[in-house]
Every structure is written in C-alpha cells, then in structure tokens.
Amino acid sequence: MSKVDLGVNIAGLKLKNPVMTASGTFGFGEEYGEFYDLERLGAVVVKGLTLKPRVGNPPPRTVETPAGMLNSVGLQNPGVDYFLEKELPRLLEKEICVIANISGANVDEYCTIMERLEPSGVAAVELNLSCPNVKEGGIAFGLNPNSVYDVTRRVKECGDKPVIVKLSPNVTDIVEIARAAKEGGGDAVSLINTLLAMEIDIWSRKPVLGNVYGGLSGPAVKPVALRMVHQVAGALDIPVIGIGGILDWQDAVQFLLAGAKAVAIGTANFVNPLAPIEIIEGIEEYARQQGFLAVEDMVGALQQ
Ligand code: SIN
C-alpha cells in the first residue's frame, strides 16, 4: 500500500500531520494523554494564557445547543509563568509540537507574554484576538483591522517565534481582518473562533449563561467556518488553519479542500476524545483512495 506524506509546513513549522487541537478544548493535554499518545498529533494548542492567572467568568459557563454548545469560560487559566514552569516541561518530555495561545488586556501584555515564551520550547504562538467572553483583550482587538495590524506587528517585534493570528467570525469582512494580520507580520491565521450567541431559560426568564453571552461552537458553525476559510485562503497568500465544528475526517477534508493547510479540532474533543486520531487516520485513507501522494496536494484542491 502506498504511503501518503501527511506532513505539512505552516509558518516554518514542520508538522507531522495537519491535525492539531483547538485552544480551550484540550487544557494542557494531560487528560487526553490517557486516551492516546499526544505525539500522534500535528500540534497541541494549549488553553489560552494570560499574563496573570484568571478565575474566569461566573457560572454557568457552558450550555448545549442544537448541534453545538455555548461557552463563556472567560479565559480561566493559571497564567503564563505557571504554564512555563509546570505544564510545558511535561508536554516537552515527548516529541510534541506545542503552540501557546495567548490573550492580553492590552498590547503591552501581549508583548510581555510573547517575551516570556520566547526562550521556551514552545514552537509557535497563537494570538487570540477573538475571545468573545472577556471585556478587555481578545475580541476587543479582533474586530478592527487597524488593531489587528497593530497588535500583530508589536508582538512580532517581541520575538522570533512564528505567530498565528486567531480570527473572530463576528465581523463583516473576514478577508479584511486576515489581510491586516498578514500585513502586521502574522505568519499564519487560524479561523474561526466562536460566534457570539446566547440562550434563555424561559422558566426563570434569565439568560442561561452567567455572562449572558457566550461563544457558539460545534457542528452548527461548520458551514460558516468553511466559507470563511475558503474566502481567506482564496484571497491571501498566508497559511490558514481551519477551525469550526470539525467532528470527523470528512469535515476535516472539506477544510483542506477549501484551502486550509491544517485543521484544529475543538468541541469534538468533548464528544469523542479520540476524534483527532480518527481524523488523522481518515484523512490518510481518503488521500490514498483519491491518489494524493501528500496531504499538501489536497490543500485548496476544491473543483469549482
Ligand atoms: C474562553 O475562555 O472564554 C474561550 C476562549 C476563546 O473563545 O477564545
């Protein structure tokens, strides 16, 4: 049986396959490591890090919706220093490509976190400009091309690691935002983060989430994500990481055909912890059946 080359090159990172985990759905990998060897993944994107530890938003912080879920976690995390001291060394005991997702309350904070990560074994940084659940930081930067450009440019000046800019779908023109990330020096973009949404409990007549609004993820958002990935990959010469409701290998293949060089698996991890592994295997089998010698040949191979 012919062997398919699963490797992809993103922003100078040589990934062994195109499947990574989406930030916020995988913690720091410890729990999932009980299900499979994390070395099998293309990359692990860890829970979003801030400069100081955060307790996150008031509960309830998640609710299931038809074909998806809302979260308003609010960037709960132990802070970048704890990550560097306690979590990263454990991940790096193995051959795992670790990508740190970071959020700042202001541009200086993004830069400080980047500087702390610079001497570490983190392979790349994903700039979260798209968290819909905190007032400061995250989405406050991601909706405006000028601020996307500014924060990306400043962070790039603070280190040499590849920078992936994670984009929000809560915008009118995703290509304009992706272009700003590229012009700011971003090495790749990842999209989409969650769609701003809400649920109401009609008996209490209150919002279900403690934070009122949350981010919608899961299969419900996949067609939106696919459309945005297709638009960005078609318009800009920058590697795209596709995220949004990928449940199985068929979904992942759709993103690759639409132009994503890699995919990140998020909500599916909650439903099926083995989803990323099944997706890697499914992509390989599909490529073999379709006569692709390398996964990179599938990228953007959509017939129009
Ligand atoms: C959260 O922690 O609120 C989710 C992170 C994100 O959507 O970027």
Q: What is the 3-state secondary structure (H, E, C) of 36-65?
A: CCHHHCCEEECCCECCCCECCCCCCCEEEE
Each residue's pLDDT, cut to its tens digit, for the chain (304 residues) gives 679 999 999 989 999 999 999 999 999 999 999 999 999 999 999 999 999 999 999 999 999 999 999 999 999 999 999 999 999 999 999 999 999 999 999 999 999 999 999 999 999 999 999 888 887 666 778 999 999 999 999 999 999 999 999 999 999 999 999 999 999 999 999 999 999 999 999 999 999 999 999 999 999 999 999 999 999 999 999 999 999 999 999 999 999 999 999 999 999 999 999 999 999 999 999 999 999 999 999 999 999 8
Cα of 35 from ligand 1 centre, angstroms: 24
Report in angstroms the alpha-carbon separations of 28 from 116, 210, 276.
Answer: 18, 25, 15
Whole-model pTM: value is: 0.97
pLDDT digits (tens, 9 = 90+) for 30-54: 999 999 999 999 999 999 999 999 9
Among this protein's residues, is 131 annotated catalytic?
A: yes
Helices 249-258 and 275-290: angle between axes, nearest 10 degrees: 60
**188's tokens:** 């790749």
Cα of 280 from ligand 1 centre, angstroms: 25
In whole angstroms, give the CA distance from residue 259 to residue 237: 11
Q: Which amino acid is at 168?
A: S
Cβ of 74 less than 6 Å from ligand 1? yes
Pocket residue to mutate for ligand 1, from 49, 101, 131, most atoms within 8 A of Cβ: 131
CATH 3.20.20.70 at 8-57+75-198+218-297, yes or no: yes
**Atom 7 in ligand 1: which residue has the minimum CA distance?**
131
Q: Which helix (H) or strand (E) holds 10?
A: strand 8-10
In whole angstroms, give the CA distance from residue 168 to residue 19: 20
Q: Note whether 41 and 276 are within 8 A (CB).
A: yes
Burial class of residue 207 in the structure, from the number of CB atoms within 10 Å of its CB (0-12 exposed, 13-18 middle, 19+ buried): middle
**Which residue blocks in 62-198 are alpha helix, DSSP H?**
80-82, 88-92, 107-117, 139-142, 145-157, 174-183
pLDDT digits (tens, 9 = 90+) for 84-109: 999 999 999 999 999 999 999 999 99
Cβ of 77 less than 6 Å from ligand 1? no
pLDDT digits (tens, 9 = 90+) for 60-90: 999 999 999 999 999 999 999 999 999 999 9
Q: State the Cα torsion 197-241-235-171 to the nearest 10°.
A: 20
Domain coordinates in residue numbering, the chain? 8-57+75-198+218-297
Cβ of 194 less than 6 Å from ligand 1? yes
DSSP string, 227-271: HHHHHHHHH-SS-EEEESS--SHHHHHHHHHHT-SEEEE-THHHH
Strand partners, 201: 206
**50's tokens:** 């801030």
Cβ of 29 less than 6 Å from ligand 1? no
**215's tokens:** 């981010």
